[in-house]
Structures are given as structure tokens and as C-alpha cells.
Amino acid sequence: MPTLSHFDSDQDRFRLRVVVAAVTVLVCFGLLVWRLFNLQVLRHEELSTRAEANRIAVLPIVPNRGRIVDRNGVVLATNYTAYTLEITPSKVEDLEGTIAGLSTFIDIQARDRKRFKRQLEESKSFESLPIRNRLSDEEVARFIAHRYRFPGVEIKARLFRHYPFGEVGSHLLGYIGRINQAEKLAMEDWDEERQANYRGTEYIGKLGLEQRYEEALHGVTGFEEVETTAGGRAVRRLRSQPPTPGHTLVLSIDIRLQAMVEELFGERRGALVAIDPRNGEVLAFVSKPTFDPNLFVDGIDAENWKELNESIDKPLLNRALRGTYPPGSTYKPFMAMAALNSGKRGPSVIIHDNGSFFFGGHRYGSPENEKGGAMDMRRSIVESSNVYYYTLANEMGVDLIHEQLSPFGFGRRTGIDLEGELTGVLPSTEWKRRVNKRPENKKWYAGETISLGIGQGYNNFTMLQMASALSTLVSGGQRYEPRLVREIESAIDGGRRRVSAAALAPLPLKPEHVAVIRDAMYGVTVAGTSTRVFAGAPYLSGGKTGTAQAVGLKGNAKYSANRMAEHLRDHSLYVAFAPRDEPHIALALIVENAGWGAAAAAPIARRVFDHVLLGLDPSPEDVALTRQGLSAAPVGAQRPASSVPLPRLAGVEPAVPAAPASAAAPRAAPAASAARPARPASSGTTP
């Protein structure tokens, strides 16, 4: 039977439990109130923003890429819309099974699978990747009918880049391609605004003007805010800002001239650069062979890549920009100007040319067809006397030659608006010390100077440098940074901003010295090595042929093209300007391994001048002869340049109707080594 003391003890324990329970309830309630206060008051703005972000999705709208047109408005690069079949790997359980299922009613070839696999390796699993591009309307309809079977697969409308003239001008235009992992990593270093402008962008300029003017061509990315459900499904559009298309690049290039020159080269390798000396605008920028940039837009397949990358002709090498060559006898007018400028030799000084020059027990020869005799400066250029320039180089020395010719741009970048330009080599004693590691190779030997006078030895330049230097010379010293882009046309108001070639400080050339060189080069076309080529021309021009060794000859070995492999034969060069007294065009060109300069290179220059100055293109039979190196002056009836059809691609970009309701909004869609440098010449080269 419980006692009173037991009752009191139980009552005390009960009270304690009530107090503990009450305190616990109060603490929990206090925590709840604090949590509510924290969420509703202290973190209200943060959580409200987060909730709004969960409710609203911001989708980037990629702008249309800007066009590229030539100086006359001919479109060289544009865009078109086409349907693509795309897979989001993270939403697909069986990727191979899905592709196999799709291929039962949509043509998916092996190259499509390879491209998809390559892009899958470079991308994130939640990104949408195309398995087939350019679907027909019938294929789109078939997929829509079977769409329920393929979660994670959808039809999208994308923008594709199109180069309507295919291989014409490919080295200057470049191409666009899918952004790879290395480029994505590089983009992480961009400022926040620039990164934001590339959200949603999958393609970027990879080469040429597409790369150099990427930001101008890209445009400004727009956005669209949409309200979404918890499952991510869009229910309504809240607001949007349309994208601003990329600007249009208006080039200084004349695509008709460009196409004509490329046709005249035929299957031969080489380069040509033509510049307007009055403003630095580039009129033609040719590198042969070329490639079709359209191959790279979707991602080039392995077969085409192998063919381009492993070809002995190196079609991916931009020879005008990155091919360096010994200039041969085309260097002689510059050596003559260096002599006049430095006071080492006047125009009337006579050097007797007996066909040989001896130095240090070594004989430096001249071509067998050289006339020889008493040479003043004019005749030395007209008849291309080697001995005259052997002696001049010996008198000047390598460092004075470097000092005089470096301001013309030899051995340095011209500043053209393309990436990847090589500097070439204008040798000096300091240069040799810098590039050689072994002490015994650092010393400059006097015998190495001799061949420099005729454009051999260590001399190696690009055709861009040669054309720019000639432009400076014949214009009386006026210098420009060459420019391919003439104007940038705004996508907003159509206004055009002039992209002027930067005028550099002019060289202090004396007019009487310039007149001597101009007159001597004019003599080449009327009494020298290119007389037959310019016979009957209704304008006066100046030029200089050159033949440069691709490989050096041992000892006193004689050059014989017939006994040498084609890629070891001499290069054919020509530099020229026209008209003689007020030059509107200066050019430099090389036809690799084609021999004598007057046979292969000079005929192309004549036809360039006829196009620019007379508006005339060669006849079909003349084109055929020039492609084979068998022409001189034009034959047959020349044609008005405007009447010659451009080599447009046979296919045209497909016209695609408005995308179906299930389709998304449109989205924007290797360097080879330079040519072999020549070894120092031990025997003379043909002019």
C-alpha cells in the first residue's frame, strides 16, 4: 500500500517531466521562430532570387554570323539554316541502341558516327550533339512520327556556314569549326562579359579572316527568359532580347581576280600577293593548292583530313603567309637600292662581268645564257648580272645589307590582318650568333655574304614580304601594313567603318634613286627577261624575274631539271608593278619547282595586270597554256573580266522552311611546315 512519501516523490517527478517537456517545446518553438525569421527576413532576398531562378530559365540566343564579301559585294561566306538530328547523351540509357534504332529510318553513315563519337569525347554529357546534319523534310517527318520511341533525341534547326566558291580564296577566308576542349579552357581566361557573349555558341573561327575577325563576325548573343515548371518544361515566355547579328566584312580582295589567278596556277604549287601601293590594300592573296573550307563546317571526316594533312603538296599550308623562299634574282632591285641609299655604288659605276667571281678560292658562277660584259646598274637589272651583285654584296657586307633592307620589311612581319605570319630571314652577324648554339657555328664567314647579293644563301622571305617591300620601293618609300579587310559594315544600321591600312613612317628614299630602279625594272619588260611576256601590252610596267634554288648544289655540279625530282627543281619567281610612273598594283609570286622565272611566273603577272588595268581575262586556250607554263604574251581573244563566270559550287545551300513546333530556335553552327629553305648557293642561278 503506497505511503504519502511515495505520492510526493511521484508528484515531484511528474512536475520535473512537465518542466522539461515545456522547456523542450519552448526551445523547439524558438528554433522554429528563429528559422522562420531567418528565412523570411534575413535571407529573404537570397532565397527569393533563388526561387525566381528555379522558376525562370535564361536561354542564350546565338546570333547569325556575319557575312564576308569582296570589294564588289560578291558574297564569299554566308549562313543557311538546316535541320539536325541531335542526341543528349545524359538523357539516353543505351546510346548505341538509340543510334541503331534511328538508322532504321534515317540515313546515318559511318562518318556521321565517327564525327559524333569525336564530339562526344570533347563535350559534356548534358550537351546536345548532332548525329546527322542537313535532314530533308521527309526525314524530319519520319522522325516526328517515331519521336516517342527516342527520349533524349530531338530535331533542331541550326545555322551552317557556307562558302559558295569552295576552294577559291580558302587560305584567306579560313573556316569555322566546333569549339574544342583547348579552346574552351582558353575561354575561361576571358572576362565575364566576353564569356557571356559566347554562351550557347558552339562554333568559332579557326583560320584566316574567320579567326582574325572572330568577334566582329560573331555578333552579340541575345537571351530569352521563360517560366518553367518543376520538371523544367517551359510554360510561357517572360521577356527576351534578340541577338545582334555579326558585322559584314568587306574585303579589298577582288574575287574574280583571285579566282583567275588560282586557275592560272592549275595543279602547280605556289603563291601570289598583289597590293595597291597607294593604300596597302591587298587585291589578291593566293596560295596553291587550296582546300574546300566547307569540309570543316560539320567536322571534317577522317578520310578527307588524312588526304589534306598527308598530301606532299601541303594544301593546308598558307604559302603566301607562311611559305618562306629564297628570292633569287628578284632581290637584285632591292640590293641596287641599298647600294644607292648607302652610297656604296652609283648608277653609272661599271662592273665587268666575265661570267665568274672568285672569292676565297671559290668560284661563284653566272647562268650560261648570261651575256656578260660591262654592267652599270640599269643593265645589271635588265640582264640580271650575277657578278655585279656578287661584288656588291662583298663590298657592302652582311650587316650593311641588313641595315639597308630591314626597313623594307624583310625579316619581319608585315602586320597584315591574319594570324600566323612568319618573319622569314634577313641574315646578319647578330642573327647568326642568336640562332646557333654551337660556338663554331656562330661566326659569320665572308664567303657567306657573296650569295646574299643574288637572293640566295640564308635569305628566305614570304611572297607577302616581297610584295610589301616592292610596294614600298616603287611608291617612293611610302609604307603600309597590308590589309585584307577594307570596311566593316554594321549589322545594326548598315553603316560602314573604314579599316585603313596603317600608314607607317615613309622611308627616306631619294626620288632620283627610285627613278633609277623603276626604269631598270621597266627595261626588264622591254629588253630583258620578260620581254616576250609583255609584248603588245598597252601599258608600261616594271618587273624582275628570278629563279631560286630549292636545294643547294654540291661543288661545281651543274643544275639539270630533267635529272632532278620535281619537288627539288628551282622555283620560278617574278616581282612586278604597273603602271610604270604611277603604280596602282605591285605583286610578288612564286611557282614552286617550275624553273625559269620568265617561263612560269611572269605570264601570270601579265594576266593579273591585264585584269586590273584593262578589265580583261585570258582566253580559254591561253589559260590552258599558262597552267602548263607554256605561254608568253596572251593568245586568243581576251574576255571582259565581268563576263567570266565565277567557279561557284555546283550545289547551293538548301532552302529549309520554318522549323516544326518541336524544333528549337536556330543556333550558330592544322599548319604544315613551310617550304624548304635553300642552302647557301655555290653556283649561280638563272635570272
**pLDDT tens profile 457-471:** 999 999 999 999 999
Quick check: is 116 in a domain? yes
Q: Are residues 505 and 636 in the same domain?
A: yes
Q: Is the pLDDT of residue 36 over 90?
A: no
Quick check: is 243 in a domain? yes
Which of 251, 283, 305 represents a domain boundary (last residue)? 251
> What b/e sequence results for 343-362 when a residue is b if at least 16 CB atoms lie within 10 Å of its CB, and e otherwise?
ebbebeeebebebebeeeee
Pick 98 or 686 by higher pLDDT: 98
Q: Which residues does 628 contact at the CB level (< 8 Å), separation at least 6?
A: 266
φ and ψ at 680, to 5 degrees? -55, 135
Cα 81 from Cα 653, distance rounded (Å): 9
Which residue from 529, 496, 554, 581 is spatially nearest to 679, judged by alpha carbons? 554
Q: What mean pLDDT comes out for the span 406-413? A: 96
Cα 516 from Cα 507, distance rounded (Å): 16
Instruction: Please name the residue that has the C-alpha cell 591585264.
Output: 610
Q: What percent of the chain has pLDDT over 90?
A: 57
Task: Name the residues annotated as catalytic.
Answer: 329
Identify whether the C-beta of residue 110 lies closer than 8 Å to the C-beta of residue 138: no
Amino acid at residue number 447: G
Quick check: is 47 in a domain? no
Reported as a pLDDT band with limits 50, 70 and 90, residue 1 is low
**Is residue 438 packed enough to be buried (19+ CB in 10 Å), middle (13-18) or exposed (0-12)?**
exposed
Q: Are residues 280 and 187 in the same domain?
A: no
Which of 251, 270, 288 represents a domain boundary (last residue)? 251
Reported as a pLDDT band with limits 50, 70 and 90, residue 348 is very high
Quick check: is 400 in a domain? yes
Cα 64 from Cα 219, distance rounded (Å): 7
Q: Are residues 217 and 350 in the same domain?
A: no
Q: How many domains does the chain have?
A: 2
Q: Are residues 228 and 343 in the same domain?
A: no
Quick check: is 312 in a domain? yes
In 509-583, alpha helices (H): 511-527
Instruction: Please name the residue that has the C-alpha cell 654540291.
Output: 554
| Mean pLDDT taken over the chain | 86
Nine cell digits for residue 633:
604574251
Reported as a pLDDT band with limits 50, 70 and 90, residue 341 is very high
Q: Is the pLDDT of residue 339 over 90?
A: yes
Query: In this predicted model, what pLDDT tens digit does every residue of 264-320 receive, in sequence order?
Result: 999 999 999 999 999 999 999 999 999 999 999 877 888 889 999 999 999 999 999
Q: Is the pLDDT of residue 493 over 70?
A: yes
Cα 118 from Cα 112, distance rounded (Å): 10
Q: Are residues 98 and 239 in the same domain?
A: yes
Identify whether the C-beta of residue 309 lies closer than 8 Å to the C-beta of residue 511: no
First to last CA, the chain: 137
Which residue from 548, 628, 534 is spatially nearest to 596, judged by alpha carbons? 548
Quick check: is 44 in a domain? no
CATH number of the CATH domain containing 159: 3.90.1310.10
Instruction: Please name the residue that has the C-alpha cell 517515331.
Output: 146
Q: Is the pLDDT of residue 687 over 70?
A: no
**Alpha-carbon dihedral 388, 459, 327, 412, rounded to 10 degrees:** -120
At residue 26, the pLDDT reads 83
The total of other beta-carbon atoms located within 10 Å of residue 550's CB is 20
Q: Are residues 473 and 599 in the same domain?
A: yes
HSE-up (13 A, CA, CB side) for residue 180: 8
Peptide bond into 289 cis (omega under 30): yes
Query: In this predicted model, what pLDDT tens digit does every residue of 59-111 receive, in sequence order?
Result: 788 899 999 999 999 999 999 888 989 988 878 888 888 988 998 888 888 88
Quick check: is 29 in a domain? no
At residue 50, the pLDDT reads 55
Q: Is the pLDDT of residue 533 over 90?
A: yes
**Is residue 83 packed enough to be buried (19+ CB in 10 Å), middle (13-18) or exposed (0-12)?**
buried
Q: Are residues 229 and 262 in the same domain?
A: no
Q: Are residues 246 and 298 in the same domain?
A: no
Pick 509 or 680 by higher pLDDT: 509
Question: How big is the CA angle at 593 (ends 253 and 411), to the nearest 5 degrees?
Answer: 60
Identify whether the C-beta of residue 174 lies closer than 8 Å to the C-beta of residue 208: yes
Reported as a pLDDT band with limits 50, 70 and 90, residue 667 is very low
Cα 38 from Cα 661, distance rounded (Å): 45
- Element at 177 (helix H, strand E): strand 176-178
At residue 79, the pLDDT reads 93
Q: Are residues 157 and 91 in the same domain?
A: yes
Q: Is the pLDDT of residue 477 over 90?
A: yes
Nine cell digits for residue 34:
528563429
Q: Are residues 223 and 334 in the same domain?
A: no
Q: At what angle do helices 386-396 and 398-405 cross, to 10 degrees?
A: 100
Nine cell digits for residue 133:
546534319
The total of other beta-carbon atoms located within 10 Å of residue 233's CB is 9
Q: Are residues 129 and 151 in the same domain?
A: yes
Least confident of 354-363, 633-642, 652-661: 652-661
The total of other beta-carbon atoms located within 10 Å of residue 451's CB is 28
φ and ψ at 129, to 5 degrees? -120, 135
**Is residue 557 packed enough to be buried (19+ CB in 10 Å), middle (13-18) or exposed (0-12)?**
exposed
Which residue from 322, 331, 319, 379 is spatially nearest to 353, judged by alpha carbons? 379
Q: What mean pLDDT comes out for the span 176-205? A: 88
Q: What mean pLDDT comes out for the span 523-548? A: 96
Contacts 24+ apart (CB under 8 A), 91-96: 91/151, 91/152, 92/151, 92/152, 92/153
Q: Is the pLDDT of residue 128 over 90?
A: no
At residue 679, the pLDDT reads 32
Nine cell digits for residue 635:
593568245
Which residue from 444, 452, 345, 360 is spatially nearest to 401, judged by alpha carbons? 452
Which residue from 359, 353, 368 is spatially nearest to 547, judged by alpha carbons? 368
Between the CA of residue 155 and those of 83, 248, 385, what are the distances in Å?
7, 30, 70
Reported as a pLDDT band with limits 50, 70 and 90, residue 670 is very low
Least confident of 208-222, 344-358, 488-502: 488-502
At residue 298, the pLDDT reads 78
φ and ψ at 613, to 5 degrees? -90, -30
Q: Is 358 helix (H, G, I), strand (E, B) or coil?
A: strand
CATH number of the CATH domain containing 296: 3.40.710.10
Nine cell digits for residue 612:
586590273
Identify whether the C-beta of residue 425 lies closer than 8 Å to the C-beta of residue 460: yes
Which of 251, 281, 314 represents a domain boundary (last residue)? 251
Q: Is the pLDDT of residue 321 over 50?
A: yes
pTM over 0.95: no
Q: What mean pLDDT comes out for the span 144-154? A: 89
- Element at 470 (helix H, strand E): helix 463-474
DSSP letter at 671?
P
At residue 47, the pLDDT reads 56
Q: Is 34 helix (H, G, I), strand (E, B) or coil?
A: helix
Least confident of 206-210, 324-328, 449-453, 597-601: 597-601
Cα 563 from Cα 591, distance rounded (Å): 19
Q: Are residues 144 and 156 in the same domain?
A: yes
Reported as a pLDDT band with limits 50, 70 and 90, residue 52 is low
Task: Domain of residue 130: give its range.
Answer: 58-251
Q: Is the pLDDT of residue 157 over 80?
A: yes
Cα 441 from Cα 130, distance rounded (Å): 56
Query: DSSP string of 54-104?
Result: HHEEEEEEPPPPPPEE-TT--EEEEEEEEEEEEE-GGG-S-HHHHHHHHTT
Reported as a pLDDT band with limits 50, 70 and 90, residue 117 is confident
Quick check: is 674 in a domain? no
Q: Is the pLDDT of residue 632 over 60?
A: yes
